[in-house]
Chains A and B, each alone.
Chain A
Amino acid sequence: MDHFARLGLPAALELDGAALDRAYFAAQRQWHPDRFVGKPPEDRARASTEAAGLNDAYRTLKDPLSRAVYLAGLNGIDLPGDGKTIDDPDLLMEAMETREELHEAATADAVDVLAARSRDEMTKALAGLGTLFLRHDKAAIRKALLRLRYLDKFAEEARARRTNLHREKA
């Protein structure tokens, strides 16, 4: 059963966060291991498996990027594992430039500017995904998702850099 079906939700890129929460909470009310204390071991094992499946589904669908990657996978678009070499020359160029900027950012404010720009780019790229999915443009979806994954990673690096700057100052 795919993650969408498990939570009784339509397999779509756009997902109402509140609807996802409602579906998840309702299913966990039924399957959470806390509801099976004192029940026979086989019932409890079943509950544990169901609850773990629900958690996996919830975690995957909650985040827009991981949801898009998952939906792409359902559509036969597989991305290389995380941390693998970038094979898109445009993205490679963008990555080198932004990394350089982050490396040179000497203040927390400068890092914040870069992080905010990266977030904007993510929002835009996520918004553009819908059209690509409608067109079933697999190559473009793959390219966009790899770029989104890079932007996400960049945001994490910016956060680490900010923490370092903050601590150096203190």
Chain B
Amino acid sequence: MSLLEIHEPGETPLPHAGEASLAVGIDLGTTNSVVAIAREGVPAALHDDSGKSLVPSIVAYPDAGGVLVGEEARLLMAREPRNTVASIKRLMGRGAADLHAVAGVLPYEIEPGSGQTDMVKLRIGGKARSPVEISAEILKALRARAEAALDKPIERAVITVPAYFDDAARTATRDAARVAGLEVLRLVNEPTAAALAYGLDKGSEGLYAVYDLGGGTFDFSLLRLEKGVFQVLATGGDAALGGDDFDRAIAERMLAERKKDGVADQVDEAAVKTVLALARQIKEQLSGRDQASGRLELAGIPSFHALGRADFEAMIAKDISRTLDIAGNVLADAGMTASDVQGVVLVGGSTRLPLVRSAVAGMIGKPALTDIDPDEVVALGAALQAEALTGGGDTLLLDITPLSLGLETMGGIVEKVVPRNTPIPVQLAQEFTTYHDGQTAMAIHVVQGEREMVADCRSLARFELSGIPPMTAGAARIRVSFAVDADGLLAVSAEERTTGVAQRIEVKPSYGLSHDDMADMLYDSLDNAEADVTQRLLVEARVEARRNLLALEAALAKDGSLLGADERVALDAARAHLEAAIAGEDRDAINAAAEALENLSKPFAERRMDRGIREALAGLSVGELESRVGE
């Protein structure tokens, strides 16, 4: 194995002088992948010998040795299920805690112990393999296809990712390309790439929507097209919703039918793969006719299954209506309504379903644009961008952050620093301060998501800023800067402003710390906005009350002698009362107890102030006093 070259973060090597290498566009999809090239503004997907452009995103590590990708890997699936892996994209950048979202979809053995602080690994072909190295095999195969078709070495590519991919998944994709020997010129969001492919005729101007329902992910984006400028206004989606879910629904139904007929199936990996393959065939047939059927054989026991289109559509209606809800939210984010949209581009194999087409047309009120093959359109757009980036083009692509980025503050509240739908690249900073007197370090916890509480967002990174000089609580000025580059990748740095203690990190995701799947985050944020606000107010009340208690404690330690014994007893009782209220869930009780304590401690505060003034004035002459007052 050759050694990998690792460059400075953010730097990529210059192409070899004098050697003009071509750059391709790659759609690394959940179900299928495509590689394409554009020459003089005309993109074309690259085909294999049999004329197919789609490469199934399946990798096999056969017992016989070697690696197979695509159609050949698919053929091996039934015979050597433990050696093949499909839909690996769903695991890119995922930790163990994310797996419940895809449990049941991915019939794989997870390597024990992996995914706690790193990405999960799969046990495939008797070896632990990461999603990055498995994806790299697909990219290598695409690269080989391109080199064969173009008869030139290919070292650079634009690779597409779902707009909704988080930082971890983007980083994993870029890493996979490196392993495959490809320099990533740019990670481009899939809907944006699709719009690029459609934006060829410069005549189309105005607001366009891209509805992208693939095998495993859903994205909805709004773009404004104007004189060669592609400006993404808002985007939203679900990183765990796609055609695979429809297959699974059909598969579960078939297994239930067998169970009803008294068949006791052992549903092992091989069985799951067989059932899913048949389910997919039935689903695809239903796009062209009203009824489809198939024969299933598990452990030598055959069964026949029929499904009507109406029944199938009822099974997936909830998922489709969810995509429309997301689309509605994206429109609202952009301050637009469906009638502002001039056209909607359909992307992804799942948009072949008649139900999807009619639902989208119904929502937007205009028939969808489908003249470019929905399976190829993303790769074609990526190829156009690859040509523009290497050969220089006139199009300008202005993209945005799909999810808000922020920091954890006291009480587990998220302070958003970069809101979602902010144009990239972006550099934004916010100042934070210390909570305790004499605090010398600060834990910085970077999160991604729309919810108010940290526990509901995805944890991206944690680091500690140490060496803060001891100061009174609230005196330090910690400036935390977020920079998101044009690939949508994040770097975070923190600096104590009074002394210049600087620390910088590139975000490396801390997998598996989040309870929610990132897919649910944005969607949940609207569901839970009211509950979140209540929770946030409660937490804020607690934080404020604790801050006052700490300040009072410090004052008592220093000037406790100013209080009479009775006063002290009353004050301690009020402190205990507030502590008890903080432990409860009632914000009003906390505020009432805090107010009572504040009133009770007022005379003490006044006496402290008097003493402070007396001390300051002690021994000063009138002249000195005047000059001080004049300061």
A-to-B contact residues, CB < 8 Å: 21, 25, 28-29, 32-34, 37-38, 40-41, 44-45, 48-49, 51-53, 55-56, 58-59, 156-157, 159-161, 163-164, 167, 170
Contact = CB atoms under 8 A, between A and B. Distances in A.
Contacts of A170: 321
B185 interface: yes
Contact of B396 (A28, A40, A164): A28
Interface of B: 8, 10-11, 14-15, 185-186, 226-227, 229, 231, 321, 325, 329, 332, 388-390, 396-398, 422-428, 483, 485-486, 526-527, 529-530, 533
B11 A160 contact: no
Contacts of B185: 37
B340 to A, nearest CB: 14
B398 A28 contact: yes
Contacts, number: 80
A33 B398 contact: no
B396 A25 contact: yes
A163 B425 CA distance: 31
A155 to B, nearest CB: 10
A38 B426 CA distance: 21
Main secondary structure of the interface of B (DSSP, over half): mixed
B190 to A, nearest CB: 17
A40 B10 CA distance: 12
B216 to A, nearest CB: 24
A63 to B, nearest CB: 9
B396 A34 contact: yes
B332 A52 contact: no
Contact of A25 (B10, B229, B486): B229
Contacts of A156: 529
A56 B8 CA distance: 26
Contacts of A33: 425, 485-486
A25 B389 contact: no
Contacts of A49: 427
B526 A32 contact: no
A55 B388 contact: no
B527 A164 contact: yes
Contacts of A167: 325, 527
20 contacts: A25-B226, A25-B229, A25-B231, A32-B396, A32-B397, A32-B486, A34-B388, A37-B186, A41-B10, A41-B11, A45-B10, A51-B425, A55-B422, A55-B424, A55-B425, A56-B427, A159-B526, A163-B329, A164-B530, A170-B321
A88 B11 CA distance: 51
Contact of B15 (A28, A38, A48, A56): A38
Contact of B426 (A28, A34, A55, A164): A55
Contact of A58 (B15, B229, B423, B485): B423
Contacts of B527: 163-164, 167
A34 B486 contact: yes
B321 A37 contact: no
B425 to A, nearest CB: 5
Contacts of B398: 28, 32
B240 to A, nearest CB: 19
Nearest to A18: B226
B541 to A, nearest CB: 12
A61 to B, nearest CB: 12
B530 A52 contact: no
B275 to A, nearest CB: 31
Nearest to A37: B389
Nearest to A45: B10
A36 to B, nearest CB: 10
Contacts of B10: 41, 44-45
A44 B390 CA distance: 15
A21 B423 CA distance: 13
B321 A38 contact: no
Given A159-B332, A161-B530, A59 B422 contact: yes
